[in-house]
Amino acid sequence: MKIHEYQARDLLQSYGIPVPPGRAIESVDDAAAAYKEVTERGGTMLAVVKAQVHAGGRGKAGFVRLVQSAQDAADAARFMLSNRMKSPQTPPEGLEVKRLLVAAGVEIADRSGAALRSGGRAAGPETGATKEEFYLAITTDRRTRRNVLIASREGGVEIEQVAHDRPEAILKEPLHPLLGLQPHQARRVAFALGFTGKQVFQAAQVMLNLARLYVEKDCTLAEINPLVLTAGATGGAVVAIDAKFNFDDNGLVRHPELEAMADPNEENPAEARAKRFGLSYIALDGNIGCLVNGAGLAMATMDIIKLHGGEPANFLDVGGSASEEAVTEAFSIILSDSRVKGIMVNIFGGIMKCDIIAQGIVNAAAKIGFRVPLVVRLEGTNVEAGRRLLESARSTLPTLQAATDLGDAAKKVCDAVAAG
Amino acid sequence: MAILIDKSTKVICQGITGAFGAQHTRGCFLYGTDLVGGVTPGKGGQKFEIDAGSSVPIFDTVERAVRETGATATMIFVPPVLAADAVLEAMDAGINVICCITEGVPVQDMIKVRAVLDAMGRSALRADSEMSARSADLPVLIGPNCPGVITPGAKTGGGERSGDPYTSASRGGGGCKIGIMPGYIHTHVSQSRLGRAVGIVSRSGTLTYEAVWQTSRLGLGQSTCVGIGGDPVRGLNHIDCLRLFDADPETHGILMIGEIGGSDEIEAAEFVKKHVKKPVAAFIAGRTAPPGRRMGHAGAIIGGADDTADAKIKALRASGVTVAMSPADMGTAMVKALG
């Protein structure tokens, strides 16, 4: 699960990580007041108005604007709330923006030799970055089975590019699996990033708090980009300007406060509908609908359809505990995609029983009806009962073909769709 | 011999009174597993009915269950947020083979559990000054989010009633199934047409069944099949199973099923090249899965370039592994590798 930037700011603050003053608004009328409030609290004329959508590419699309007056703020808000945001990461028709963040601008300290001397463990060569902007993130490294703190002196930019071009500019510090990040580790990273004086301890505290947040809230990604050192009247503070969080869906059950942050507008409607029934569904571009149990077998089913010259229309894992209703719903989701010209059902029952799937097929035939070729391959738990059910309902399933094995099923569905 | 478990392994189920726990306790018992009891806190002293002819005792704690039954293996069916504690309880009680079927365990829980397991392993290795695999009395975790582990026995019965299990030691068979896999798809080497047995290790549940079924239909038996689970942090991985299979005299070849994501199969490929003497075949699922759904920038930095299906296939081939390109050819790839 992901959350919006304004929610991420609240989360950071609740863990004692400083962020610039900010306010979320939903209407143009609130823009001017929000501007006045955050700029007064921030002691600046400068503010930033940002669209609250999960998709990236906001800046280039004009949905992040620096403003210097209440009027500017209102204009920016009007633009963002009345236009759809389009970027390479959004659907072609763009996204409707329903909420904005208005945050006080921050003057970032210049990166100069005087202000910052490189520590003994400097993060690589000087790179020409002119502002004190840093990258800070925690994620889980499955290879070492540890949570890892990732830091760089080159914040505010495409960090993936930095990692690719100059891996030495990226610092990694593993969190102890039972004890978490230790203060000496955080200090070591802070020194290596070039912090000096009291800012070493401020930066280290941000890292320690972020690490605690990461573990306690079951994150899979906690990213601050950039973390900055401020200049000007309120200078010398270490502040998080933007943050991004992903959470482990499996952990949400113990964090109702996070679950409440989920934005239904950000979910693909078909995927959200599937999720309500315990199904895992991802829409793809092809025309052969797939219904499979188990993620590995579902991927393998997509692979074999491609090998036979077909194109899968979706990934759909019904899981192990789906009910008849869920299976019927799964067919209704697959058939709601008008591009689907054939369906391949591939079930190897273990925890899932073949007769449940068969009953779901029979119910779907009664409820929706199958007009496209339906190739069914059943094996495993209760397979005989499943086959009997389908056989006895044959008259309601005119397009049904039974397959003897995986290869046979893929061939039959691809042939049927090709024959169109 | 097989690996990890055999017909003499005594098994309990943690979460025996839940819907899935009950269903699969019954399934394992009817297969012929020496299933000796179960644990549900608060229901100790009650009986769990397999059918009219048989029942097993329920205990409040794993410790009590081990003391009274001599169990050395467990299968865990408790809810996801309770799974870490269930694994730790089993370790605490001295269980050797801990099979966690539960799906949806939070990753942060598994990081802690795995750290505790690793710490036990390291201290024991230091004490024994052994360089090789885990010593026999160290706990092995399989899963979570896995189908379990099975050492098939020769079919000697119907497997419908407690008095007539699928495989029975007293009738000349005897195997051990710990988990949710359908038993009938497996073949004991004594009943296989080719008279050879392969070990199967897989990250995916149902794809494992597919592989088992194909090898059975092609005339092979299976020594042991291990579903290691698809979660990012888990117990046994491919390498552990490759090592065990390679050392097992009853295993003639190894079939490894992997998928996209993570670097396990790359490490397994290196391990095969350096250490494995037996023929190995493999399939990697997800060659056509669209990229995406990745975990932001930090995930990409950590992930590296090794986690695609093509990178894994290439590494496996370079190590002399016979790789099936179609999931329908996993069995034939194994037969081909056996020569």
With a cut of 60, say whether residue A126 has pLDDT above it.
Answer: no
Chain-chain contact of A350 with B180 (C-beta, under 8 angstroms): yes
Interface of B with A in 258-297 (CB under 8 A): 259-260, 262-263, 283, 285-290, 293, 295-297
**For A219-255, where are the alpha helices, taking DSSP H only?**
none
CA distance B38 to B69: 10
Contact yes or no for A291/A305 (Cβ under 8 A):
no
Q: What backbone torsions phi and psi does residue B232 show, to the nearest 5 degrees? A: -65, -35
State the pLDDT at residue A121.
34
User: Which of B106, B180, B262 lies nearest to residue A142, judging by beta carbons?
Assistant: B262
CA distance A195 to A201: 9
| Beta-carbon separation of A250 and B107 below 8 A | yes
Cα gap A205→B313, rounded to integer Å: 44
Nearest to B106 among A218, A294, A297 (CB): A218
Residue B303 has a pLDDT of 52
- Residue A289 structure tokens: 């609908």
Q: For residue A416, what is the enclosing H or E element?
A: helix A406-419
The C-alpha atoms of residue A419 and residue A415 are separated, in whole angstroms, by 6
Among residues of chain A, what percentage have pLDDT more than 70? Answer: 95
Q: What is the mean pLDDT of residues A47-74?
A: 93
DSSP state of A95: B
Is 70 exceeded by the pLDDT of residue B157?
yes
| pLDDT value at residue B299 | 47
Give the whole-angstrom CA distance, residue B218 versus residue A92: 49
Q: Is the pLDDT of residue A105 over 70?
A: yes
Residue A41 sits at φ, ψ, to 5 deg, of -65, -35
Chain A interface, best mutation among B31, B82, B177, B297, by max A CB count within 10 A: B297
pLDDT tens per residue across span B160-179? 999 999 999 999 999 999 99
Interface predicted TM-score (ipTM) of this complex, two decimals: 0.89
| Entry pTM | 0.91
Q: What is the pLDDT of residue A142?
A: 85
A350 and B116 within 8 Å at the Cβ level: the answer is: no
B123 pLDDT exceeds 80?
A: no
* Residue B275 a catalytic site member: no
Look over chain A and give the mean of its residue pLDDT values, rounded to a whole number. Answer: 90
pLDDT of residue B93: 96
pLDDT tens readout for residues B216-230: 999 999 999 999 998
Mean pLDDT computed over B30-41? 98
Contact between B108 and A248 using a beta-carbon 8 Å cutoff: yes
Residue B203 sits at the chain A interface (C-beta within 8 Å): yes
Higher pLDDT, A89 or A227: A227
Asked if A295 and B295 come within 8 Å (Cβ–Cβ), the reply is no
Give dist(CA A209, CA A194) in Å, integer. 20
Q: How far apart are CA B145 and CA A224, in angstroms?
A: 32
* Chain center to CA of A38: 29
Q: Which residue, A68, A208, A234, is CA-closest to A149?
A: A208
* Beta-carbon separation of A297 and B116 below 8 A: no
Active site residues of A: 135, 223
pLDDT at A345 over 70: yes
- Which has the minimum average pLDDT: A11-20, A312-321, B273-282, B299-308? B299-308
pLDDT band per the 50, 70, 90 thresholds, residue B305: low
Q: What is the pLDDT of residue B304?
A: 57
How would you class A165 by CB atoms within 10 Å of its CB: exposed for 0-12, middle for 13-18, buried for 19 or more? exposed
Which chain A residues are closer than 8 Å to B202 by Cβ? 296
**Residue from the list B104, B208, B298 with its beta carbon closest to the beta carbon of A137:** B298
The burial class, CB within 10 Å (0-12 / 13-18 / 19+), for A57 is middle
Question: What gap in Å lies between CA A103 and CA A23, rounded to an integer?
Answer: 6
Model pLDDT for residues A219-258, shown as the tens digit of each residue = 999 999 999 999 876 678 999 999 999 999 999 999 999 9
Q: Is the Cβ pair B298, A223 closer than 8 Å?
A: yes
How far is the alpha carbon of A255 from chain B, nearest alpha carbon, in Å? 12
Both structure tokens of B236: 């046994």
According to DSSP, the β-strands at A47-51 and A100-104 are antiparallel
Contact A286, A310 (CB under 8 A): yes
Q: Is the pLDDT of residue A319 over 50?
A: yes
Q: Which of A348, A352, A382 to mutate to test the interface with B (most CBs of B within 10 A)?
A: A348
What is the chain B residue with the closest CA to A381? B182
Distance CA B26, CA A300 (A): 30
Q: Tell whether the model's pLDDT for residue A25 goes beyond 80.
A: yes
pLDDT greater than 90 at residue A264: no
Q: What is the pLDDT of residue B129?
A: 43
CA separation, residue A106 to residues A46, A228, A375, B76, B217 (Å): 8, 9, 61, 52, 68
Interface of B with A in 99-158 (CB under 8 A): 103-108, 110-112, 114-116, 147
Q: Provide φ and ψ at A200, rounded to 5°.
A: -55, -45
Distance CA A97, CA A76 (A): 12
pLDDT given for residue B88 in this prediction: 96
pLDDT the model gives residue A129: 65
Q: How confident is the model at residue B122 (pLDDT cuts 50, 70, 90)?
A: low
Query: How far apart (Å, rounded) are the C-alpha atoms in residues A46 and A401?
Result: 67
Confidence (pLDDT) at B261? 83
pLDDT given at position A381: 86
Distances (CA, A) of A79 to A25, A52, A61, A94, A133: 14, 13, 11, 14, 29
Chain A interface mutation, best of B26, B100, B102, B108, highest count of A Cβ atoms under 10 Å = B108
Query: Residue A234 has what pLDDT?
Result: 66
Is the predicted pLDDT of residue B147 greater than 60, yes or no?
Answer: yes
Q: Give the count of alpha carbons within 13 A of A273, CB side only.
A: 14
Min mean pLDDT across A265-274, B7-16, B61-70, B190-199 is at: A265-274
Name the A residues in 35-74 with CB < 8 Å from any B CB: none
Provide mean pLDDT across the span B260-286.
94
Do B98 and B140 form a contact (C-beta atoms < 8 A)? yes
Number of neighbouring beta carbons within 10 Å of residue A206: 24
Which residues on chain B are in Cβ contact (under 8 Å) with A5?
none
Q: Which residue of A has its CA nearest to B20?
A: A351
Among A71-80, B127-136, B163-172, B272-281, which is the least confidently predicted range?
B127-136
Mean residue pLDDT across chain B: 91
Report CB contact under 8 Å: B326, A302.
no
With a CB-CB cutoff of 8 Å, which residues 236-255 of chain A face chain B? 244, 246, 248, 250-251, 253-254
In the numeric block, the tokens 């003391």 are attached to: B67
Structure token digits, residue A342: 């054939």
Alpha carbon of A406: minimum distance to chain B alpha carbons (Å): 6
pLDDT band at A89 (very low <50, low <70, confident <90, very high): confident
